[in-house]
Structure 1
């Protein structure tokens, strides 16, 4: 697209954007995975060795206070600790969809700033809630903000970088999440009281309020909604920062706008057009499966054996490996091929857990399944952003991310099937990646393709053989 030609594919300005946006992924990781230390398994004693009682004596040698011990979420109320995480993920689901649609209509900048402000406020508020339901409701609203940050932040980055470097930035975008996952173990180790722990992981996000002053709009979005003058002003500033030629930028942009004639589109366009409808449904299912397996298997194997702090840090390391492995794979392989093979390997690894004794072997295969499911999440983020045009890109990622949250909401309940048989949970997780792999055969390839702008381009994409910027034919 003309934007990459005018501002460069990756320069000082794009580097600054990446630093700004990548920083918010630490907070996303803190809040997404916080439940591990907010509601760890509680050890308690009842008078007369009874199984349940109204006033249990809790063992506080590991954690001085958790939401379980604070509100007695044991026995008949034990399901409530899963409810609080399910409602948080429902919030992420809702936020992914709503903020995705809003950002396509009103802009990336204002939507991301709103999400960040909401995250900071609700994160701190949740630390001081006096009862379970107020805590859970505020965390659900916190989840809404996290959903917005995840979706809008990624799209901003993808709309700034050129297609040659996009696969690298897409994978690196998730590295702060994995580092945040590992840092969470450090927070949990040194802060054993849930209230101070929640406050600490929320206060560190206050620095993101700098977005109000320095975050720019996406030039692609400005062009897509026909805000040509603002787009020209921003593109000239970016080009100047990147030491690019700023002459004739205005003329080139105006000619581009005349040729493409951008018009407003809504999320319904994704379902009115047959090709886009097929792509969004299959892509959403892949997001659901990847998230379902990642959160479910992570939860499942973290309770098999070992120290909780080491387990959390180790899972973060596994995910970091998945991010780094994705970079060379994305460079040399097609997106569709990677997603198909990744789903197959993920499925096999998880299914093996059903047939081997619990212990080191099951943990190793579980880690392989977690790594591939997380790597698939990294890749489908990029794959989805390349598959849909600018006017509905955020909505497409929002819908897909919403599907991912559905997977993460279901996952804890499937992982809880372990008492009914060793094979139950692994089979429940392992079957679906095979289905996702088969459906991916119907998707188009997007490697080395410029990002599309209009609905017409998106509907035509993949229907016939076209050429990428390198002159190679794609389907």
Structure 2
């Protein structure tokens, strides 16, 4: 619906203000996603009076961390796998939240669902810092992850639905900068606060600032038009155009005319519509697998690298810095390259780097190769968010990104266990991470359409057409559609 950005602008003062406030929500996502590295930080221990390293009351070395969930609930020896289960439970929460909040956002709107997810995340995060036993703590982490999944999907879609296609690719990259810089900030917080309870309390309380969304966060005009709330959409668009110093006198007449011309029965779309037609079904299936692999590699390698030889805080800081560089590098890549090209070559390079970790000397060499692989994994993460939002229409866009994000959480749930294959061989974890990006590259090459320079799709019919021998493109100055060869 190019007419919306024709009337409110591609990127003006209002868009800049909206991006600023929505981008802030990416910090809380980053804090909770990366917290596991400090919650389960490795702590040396011994059993007093015996040569064994396994006992019911071990003595922990607390010179680096005074309290972690490992020291608090003795997650050592036979209970060692519980620390990985904590992250799996958290990511399962993100899995559920991505789907449920994605569907709810398409039904009830972007604004209320994002606000609800943030409120839940703040209170569950604060609660998790006080709970006395492992299972109640893990449940609270599940709730935090559930809300976190909503923040991830809704914030991204809201920004994409405001920004015109001229600047959409750049904004889709910049929204990731708070996440990567958040990784570096959380390394600093972990360095200053070595008690996991106070650490969780601080990263949760910092997000209270986001409650100002209740007063300031707008709704998406695209969503309002899709659900036939035309009057609300017009009032909002006139406000946006006025702030962007654009004329407002023709907005009402043009939008009423557009709605009149497109008022033919619009059946209510659901997430199931993504699986009803062959091309859309194929696209969502392949895209979901690519998301799963990308998350599996990114979080798994982040976890693996953070526990390599060297200082934990420096390793986390390094991965955050590398991902920030990846975001900056992605701007020219995504601006001048096709979506498929970046995804295919990024996966191939990522695959080769991750496999190489198992065969280079451990230390600086393995850290550099690992960071290079993680950088390409993160570049793919950036591109597939944009790629997915362009591939699926407004009526089910949040549901599509929610499903893909949900599958990404499957990858991140598996990742800690793959990262802990190290005792079976130095090469086991790197190979377990490295083979799947190559499969993703092949699937993308064979099955997915190109979406570069496409306006955001509005209907499922357009989404089905983009998977056939034609694809829909709209010029900036109108809403005409023309067929071109893919």
Instruction: Provide TM-score, normalisation by structure 1.
Output: 0.98
Q: Measure the CA separation in 2 of the matches of 1:454 and 1:161.
A: 19
- Structure 1: give runs of 5+ residues left out of the alignment: none
Q: Measure the CA separation in 1 of the matches of 2:363 and 2:471.
A: 50
Counterpart in the other structure of 2:235:
233
Counterpart in the other structure of 1:316:
320
Counterpart in the other structure of 1:132:
134
Q: 1:469 Cα deviation (Å)?
A: 4.2
Counterpart in the other structure of 2:469:
464
Residues 289, 432 of structure 1: 8 Å contact kept: yes
> Aligned to 1:393, which of 393, 397, 403?
397
State whether structure 2 residue 441 is matched by structure 1 residue 433. Answer: no
Q: Measure the CA separation in 2 of the matches of 1:339 and 1:55.
A: 49
Counterpart in the other structure of 2:245:
243
Counterpart in the other structure of 1:366:
370
Residues 309, 362 of structure 2: 8 Å contact kept: no
Q: 1:4 Cα deviation (Å)?
A: 0.6
Q: Measure the CA separation in 2 of the matches of 1:313 and 1:187.
A: 11
Q: 1:362 Cα deviation (Å)?
A: 2.0
> Aligned to 1:65, which of 61, 64, 67?
67
Q: Measure the CA separation in 2 of the matches of 1:332 and 1:450.
A: 17
Q: Measure the CA separation in 1 of the matches of 2:209 and 2:471.
A: 45
Residue 146 and residue 467 in structure 1: after superposition, are their counterparts in 2 closer, same or farther (change >3 A)? Answer: closer
Counterpart in the other structure of 2:93:
91
Alignment of 1:287-326 (within 5 A): 287-326=291-330
Counterpart in the other structure of 1:448:
453
Cα deviations across residues 252-308 of structure 1 (Å, max 9, x unaligned)? 112212333344201110000111101100111110111111111111222221101
Q: CA-atom RMSD, angstroms?
A: 1.3
> Aligned to 1:104, which of 82, 85, 106?
106
Decide which moves more: 68-77 or 92-101. Answer: 68-77
State whether structure 2 residue 200 is matched by structure 1 residue 195. Answer: no
Q: Measure the CA separation in 2 of the matches of 1:61 and 1:207.
A: 33
Residues 7, 238 of structure 1: 8 Å contact kept: yes
Residues 14, 240 of structure 2: 8 Å contact kept: yes
> Aligned to 2:382, which of 378, 381, 403?
378
Q: Measure the CA separation in 2 of the matches of 1:332 and 1:260.
A: 34
Instruction: Provide TM-score, normalisation by structure 2.
Output: 0.96
Q: Measure the CA separation in 1 of the matches of 2:25 and 2:375.
A: 22
Counterpart in the other structure of 2:478:
none
Alignment of 1:124-273 (within 5 A): 124-261=126-263, 262-273=266-277
Q: Measure the CA separation in 1 of the matches of 2:369 and 2:474.
A: 40
Residues 465, 472 of structure 2: 8 Å contact kept: no
Q: Measure the CA separation in 1 of the matches of 2:63 and 2:485.
A: 60
> Aligned to 1:333, which of 318, 334, 337?
337
Q: Measure the CA separation in 2 of the matches of 1:319 and 1:182.
A: 10
Residues 225, 263 of structure 1: 8 Å contact kept: no
Residues 226, 263 of structure 1: 8 Å contact kept: no
Counterpart in the other structure of 2:45:
44
Partner of 1:73, secondary structure, is: coil
In the comparison of the two structures, how many residue pairs are matched? 475
Q: Measure the CA separation in 1 of the matches of 2:260 and 2:322.
A: 49
Cα deviations across residues 51-95 of structure 1 (Å, max 9, x unaligned)? 211111111111111111111111111111111111000000100
Q: Measure the CA separation in 2 of the matches of 1:347 and 1:282.
A: 18
Q: Measure the CA separation in 2 of the matches of 1:288 and 1:56.
A: 38
Residues 418, 432 of structure 2: 8 Å contact kept: yes
Counterpart in the other structure of 1:5:
6
Q: Measure the CA separation in 2 of the matches of 1:243 and 1:167.
A: 24
Partner of 2:271, secondary structure, is: coil
Alignment of 1:281-292 (within 5 A): 281-292=285-296
Residues 310, 363 of structure 2: 8 Å contact kept: no
Partner of 1:396, secondary structure, is: helix
Residue 147 and residue 128 in structure 1: after superposition, are their counterparts in 2 closer, same or farther (change >3 A)? Answer: same
Q: 1:360 Cα deviation (Å)?
A: 2.3
